[in-house]
């Protein structure tokens, strides 16, 4: 018999597994993996990057990835407490401050211990998820933290409600003042930042990719088959048929990544052009038996791109004999 404190979480876990079981079984039988292809690919990229690191740099890499998980909640947000405090960091601070205030007064100490016990589960979940992403995945995205952030947010709100009824008058006033400061300074600043993002685009280079896609729709032959690692915008807005090459939504390409034969897939797919940036091509080349033979046709600027700030159009030539 599990302890009484564990029965509730264990029942919730069993119910969650029961709901997920049909999808996991279908995914395994159909695609050979219980997770999405994107997860498989990002683990593959992670293992490839680690193959070139010594143990020290592997741990430093985990620390860097964990920092991304624990601190950065939105792309392009810097750790400026007043103007753009990351949402996840904000909620973690609220939880820590609230728990400290609860335990600082003798009266609610017993309630505080119970609260910390309840806090342990969502915090453990958040940290465990962060460790898994930091140690096994490459290219952590902001939306991975959506569910853990909701868990922390609800926990922080529960703590806030408890503190509003704190028997110590000074504690209640301090807590109310902290909440008001966050509302007065943080939320309008975040709203302004979001408005700025909506005006220029969350990632400025997306606008450039969209523009170049419309240009290429007119310049390339309509019947051309185009390959792209970052294929979302070209596939949606372009006129030519676009083949996803990074394997995130292409299981056939994913299997060629796994066997390091991506060049064979490009040949078999009958691609005429490759459109992307150099970083994606360089990573993919490590998963090819032989590099692709390419001829540069055109290039377009990519504002804000962290690597080579150009998007290239290459004509795919026949492989060397």
DSSP 157-217: HHHHHHHHT-S-HHHHHHHHHHHHHIIIIIHHHHHHHHHHHHHH-SSHHHHHHHHHHHHHH
For residue 113, what pLDDT band results from cuts at 50, 70 and 90? low
Establish if 39 belongs to a structural domain. no
Same domain, 173 and 273: no
Does one domain contain both 55 and 159? yes
Of the three residues 150, 173, 200, the one that is the final residue of a domain is 200
Which structural domain range is residue 9 located in?
A: 1-34
Highest average pLDDT, of 66-80, 126-140, 174-188, comes from: 126-140
Indicate whether 7 and 76 sit together in one domain: no
Most confident among 32-46, 159-173, 280-294 (mean pLDDT): 280-294
Distances (CA, A) of 25 to 32, 40, 250: 10, 16, 20
Same domain for 311 and 223: yes
- pLDDT at residue 137 in the model: 83
265 in the same domain as 143: no
Q: Are residues 62 and 192 in the same domain?
A: yes
91, 160: one domain: yes
For the whole model, what pTM was predicted? Answer: 0.72
Contact yes or no for 73/149 (Cβ under 8 A)? yes
**293 has a pLDDT exceeding 80:** yes
Backbone angles phi, psi at 26, to 5 degrees: -60, -45
Pick from 177-191, 264-278, 293-307 the range whose average pLDDT is largest.
264-278
Region 163-173 average pLDDT: 71
Q: pLDDT of 18-53, one tens digit each? A: 999 998 898 888 877 788 888 889 889 988 988 888
Question: What are the backbone angles phi and psi of residue 307, rounded to the nearest 5°?
Answer: -105, -140
Domain count of the fold of the chain:
3
- The answer on pLDDT for 77 being more than 80 is no
Tell me: do 236 and 256 sit in the same domain. yes
pLDDT at 85 over 60: no
Helix (H/G/I), strand (E/B), else coil: 294: strand
Per DSSP, 289 falls in state S
């Amino acid at each position: 018999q599990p302890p009484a404190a564990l029965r509730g979480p264990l029942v919730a876990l069993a119910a969650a597994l029961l709901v997920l079981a049909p999808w996991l079984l279908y995914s395994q039988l159909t695609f050979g993996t219980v997770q999405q292809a994107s997860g498989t690919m990002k683990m593959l990229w992670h293992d490839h990057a680690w193959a070139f690191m010594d143990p020290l740099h592997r741990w430093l890499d985990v620390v860097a990835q964990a920092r991304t998980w624990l601190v950065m909640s939105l792309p392009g947000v810097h750790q400026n407490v007043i103007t753009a405090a990351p949402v996840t960091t904000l909620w973690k601070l609220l939880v820590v401050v609230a728990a400290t205030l609860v335990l600082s007064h003798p009266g609610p100490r017993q309630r505080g211990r119970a609260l910390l016990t309840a806090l342990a589960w969502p915090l453990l979940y958040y940290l465990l998820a962060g460790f898994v992403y930091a140690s096994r995945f490459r290219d952590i995205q902001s939306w991975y933290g959506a569910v853990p952030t909701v868990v922390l947010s609800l926990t922080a709100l529960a703590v806030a409600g408890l503190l509003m009824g704190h028997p110590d008058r000074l504690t209640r006033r301090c807590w109310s003042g902290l909440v008001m400061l966050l509302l007065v300074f943080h939320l309008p600043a975040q709203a302004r930042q979001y408005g700025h993002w909506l005006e220029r685009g969350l990632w400025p280079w997306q606008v450039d990719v969209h523009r170049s896609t419309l240009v290429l729709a007119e310049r390339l032959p309509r019947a051309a088959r185009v390959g792209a690692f970052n294929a979302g915008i070209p596939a949606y807005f372009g006129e030519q048929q676009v083949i996803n090459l990074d394997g995130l939504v292409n299981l056939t390409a994913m299997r060629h990544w796994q066997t390091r034969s991506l060049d064979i897939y490009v040949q078999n797919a009958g691609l005429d052009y490759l459109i992307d940036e150099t970083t994606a091509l360089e990573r993919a080349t490590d998963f090819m038996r032989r590099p692709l033979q390419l001829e540069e046709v055109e290039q377009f600027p990519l504002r804000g791109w962290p690597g080579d700030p150009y998007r290239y159009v290459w004509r795919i030539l026949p492989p060397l004999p």
